[in-house]
Amino acid sequence: MPEGLIVKALSGYYYVKSDSAAPGETVQCRGRGIFKKKGLTPLVGDRVLYTPTENGEGAVEEILPRDTELIRPPVANARLAVLLFSLKEPDLNLQLLDKFLVHIEQSGLRTLICLTKEDLLDEGESDQDGDLTSQVKELYEKIGYEVVVTSSRIGTGTEEVKSRLAGEISVFSGQSGVGKSSLLNAMLPGLSLETSEISMKLGRGRHTTRHVELIELENGGYVADTPGFSQLDFLELGVEELSVCFIEFRQFAEECKFRGCSHLHEPGCKVRQAVEDDAIASSRYKHYVQFHEEMKEKKRRY
């Protein structure tokens, strides 16, 4: 049986690219009924075995073991999350950035932070915003994240991002309207993904991505261009797991006086001590406290 990769799922069909197929060449397949009986759903990113049928289509027979599985967006075998946040239009929102990072840490993916739309910084405010860009880059690199500053319009950072995507499945994520489609178009001329104007009143773009699809790069990488999110919730995450998703807390949390320390009020908390000593950024700790409250509030409601 031929083996291939599901690159698109739409209206009950799975579009499978075989290992020997030319770029862009796929076989339209249906899933076998056995998947439904077993409660399984083939996902974009799945490696599968399929049987060609007489009409030039095919049937997915078996889903090969997955390395990772995301619920939202529904993608299998992704290893890298490319998190895009704009410097302008909409303005940089560090609280939302930290919320995305929590979700990515929980999913077990590596992260590449892209600060987009550098070209929109006005010359008159470049000193102030330039400092902001440097400060944010330094903050997250110190934590251990890789950060790239990009501009799709003038090409800054495009090749750097592209080289990081080689040979693996990546998920593009972030707030709507921050330039995901523009960056993909810049990396892959001829792709022509639909981009959206920004609603200045709402501070976010209209959703331009309708379904999950893997876009093939010539360096062997695949990018899942996924619907943008304007907000996230913590329903899948236990409150006790939150602090682990702040990766710079971990080394200090091991030395806390009490096991299971919430890092909010317990005596002998080394995380709070690290915030006081500037070893943990106060902005990150502030967002941790806010998320903790949000999660407790949600649990009370549900």
Any binding-site annotation on 106?
no
Q: Crossing angle, helix 126-143 and helix 282-301, to 10 degrees?
A: 70
Q: Is 270 within any annotated ligand binding site?
A: no
Per the annotation, does 174 bind a ligand? yes
Annotated ligand binding at 176? The verdict is yes
Report which of 183, 179, 180, 291 is spatially closest to residue 238, judged by C-alpha positions: 291
User: End-to-end CA distance of the chain, in Å?
Assistant: 47
201 is in an annotated binding site: no
Determine how many CB atoms are found less than 10 A away from the CB of residue 278.
8
180 is in an annotated binding site: yes
Question: Is there a contact between 16 and 49 (Cβ–Cβ < 8 Å)?
Answer: no
Residue 287 labelled as part of a binding site:
no
Asked if residue 177 belongs to a known ligand binding site, the reply is yes
Q: Is 178 annotated as a binding residue?
A: yes
Tell me whether residue 86 is annotated as binding: no
Tell me: is residue 89 an annotated ligand-binding position. no
> Binding site annotation covers 114?
no
How many whole angstroms separate alpha carbon 41 and alpha carbon 33? 10
3 state SS of 215? strand
User: Coil, strand, or helix at residue 41?
Assistant: coil
d(CA 263, CA 249): 9
| CA 276 to each of CA 249, 270, 273: distance values in angstroms, whole numbers, following the listed order | 13, 10, 5
The answer to the question of whether 116 is labelled as a binding residue is yes
| Composition of the chain by helix, strand, coil, percent to 5 | 35, 25, 45
261 is in an annotated binding site: yes
The reply to whether 263 sits in an annotated binding site is yes
If you search the block for the tokens 């994240």, which residue do you land on? 145
* Binding positions for Zn(2+): 256, 261, 263, 269
* Binding positions for GTP: 116-119, 174-182
* Binding positions: 116-119, 174-182, 256, 261, 263, 269
